[in-house]
Amino acid sequence: MSVRVLVTGGTGLVGQGIKYVIDTEPANSPFGKQDGEEWFFVGSSEADLRNAEQTKKLFEKYKPTHVIHLGALVGGLFINMKRKLDFLRDNMLINDNVLHNAHEFKCKKVISCLSTCVYPDKVEYPLDETKIHLGLPHESNFGYAHAKRLVDIQNRAYKDQYGDNFTSAIPTNVFGPHDNYDLESAHVLPALVHRCYLAKKNNTPFVVWGSGKPLRQFIYSRDLAKLFIWQLRNYDDVEPLILSVGEDEEVSIKEVADAVVKALGFKGEYKFDTSKADGQFRKPASNKKLLGLIKDTGFKFTPFDQALQESVEWFLQNYEKART
């Protein structure tokens, strides 16, 4: 039976991570391409998924049997605060068009991508798969958060009404090759890489905003890619699944900045601007459910320093074509 996997958002950070794993792991190995599988990685130039007609044409062209749906308007805190309606509306349209067509084209499986930043602002930690809807999201990103939460609601409605096999994944902070390094819209880790790079180039101080003390869980895009591939083949439940390193693998912003300084060989002045806000101190997510499910797969997370080094090398080699 032929398996045709359509990856929306296939040109982005996570999509390119999946492409890398599919292209480089040995055929028929646990995370490699299997006989009979075809993978299609598409970005917005192939179809604007906010547009119903273009989305339908995309499905007509690729006739997917399976979909990993990553396509989204994505960004860091600053841009989320500035464009709440765009984040709400674009993502609602994108998700509705993709899920509707996946249903119409009788896809056997869809995994859509949520995020731990769509969780309630006031919630008991650690986050787990049962807590997504237990309160309002943080004010700063409520557009993105509500749009993403609706995917889980839609998945349940498709299953309830039609028995569709639609589910979702919840990654924590992702980083890796093909990240968004644009200083206005980047997430914290690629922003630190870019700012340290500029400090080195211009011989200026590397200033990290805040105290550096907050803790976050970072997952390497190529590790996340393997988990998506595993989930596509093995996980048939509408309940979302957190894809993350463990709570004991939280890294402080200072540790990230130290690793960036080391990876870039930056020798100049390096300081913290404590007049800038720190954000939440920590918002740990539990990967207990995931670890229970993948324990026999041989999967291992890449050590943070190694993953960061690989990402920085990609950034340096691709500065001209990266999103900067």
- Give the binding site for ligand NDP (CB under 6 A): 9-15, 43-45, 48-50, 70-74, 94, 113, 115, 171, 173-174, 180, 187
Q: How far is the CB of 144 from ligand NDP (least distance, A)?
A: 7
62 part of the active site: no
Look at residues 174, 158, 2 and name the one whose alpha carbon lies nearest to residue 72.
174
Crossing angle between the packed helical segments 142-162 and 84-104, to the nearest 10 degrees = 20
Whichever of 254 and 323 has its CB closer to ligand NDP, that residue is 323
Contact between residue 289 and residue 242 where contact means Cβ atoms under 8 Å apart: yes
Q: How far is the CB of 125 from ligand NDP (least distance, A)?
A: 17
d(CA 78, CA 187): 9
Alpha-carbon distance of 232 to 313, in angstroms, equals: 30
Q: Least CB distance from residue 120 to ligand NDP, whole Å?
A: 16
Q: Measured between alpha carbons, how far is 43 from 247 in angstroms, rounded to an integer?
A: 33
Q: Which is nearer to ligand NDP, 145 or 263 (CB)?
A: 145
How many Å separate Cα 208 from the centre of its chain? Answer: 23
Q: What's 316's DSSP letter?
A: H
Query: In angstroms, rounded to a whole number, what is the distance separating the alpha carbons of residues 31 and 43?
Result: 23
Catalytic residue among 144, 181, 197, 235: 144
Strands 109-113, 66-69: parallel, antiparallel or unpaired by DSSP?
parallel
CB of 168 vs ligand NDP, minimal distance in Å: 10
- Closest residue to ligand NDP, based on beta-carbon distance: 12
State the angle between helix axes of 253-264 and 304-317 in degrees (0 to 180), rounded to the nearest 10: 50
Closer by beta carbon to ligand NDP, 74 or else 199: 74
Shortest separation between residue 256's beta carbon and ligand NDP, angstroms: 13
User: For ligand NDP, which is the closer residue by CB, 94 or 232?
Assistant: 94
DSSP sequence for 233-288: HH---SS-EEE---GGG-EEHHHHHHHHHHHHT--S-EEEETTS----S---B--H
CB nearer to ligand NDP: give 199 or 241.
Answer: 241
Question: Helix (H, G, I), strand (E, B), or coil: what is residue 38?
Answer: strand
Question: From the CB of 137, what's the least distance to ligand NDP, in Å?
Answer: 13
The DSSP H or E segment spanning 309 is helix 304-317
- Pick the closer one to ligand NDP by CB: 65 or 180: 180
Least distance (Å) from ligand NDP to the CB of residue 267? 29
Q: How far apart are CA 227 and CA 233, in angstroms?
A: 10
Q: Which is nearer to ligand NDP, 27 or 52 (CB)?
A: 52
Q: How crowded is residue 204: how many other Cβ atoms within 10 Å of its Cβ? A: 12
**What positions carry a catalytic annotation?**
144
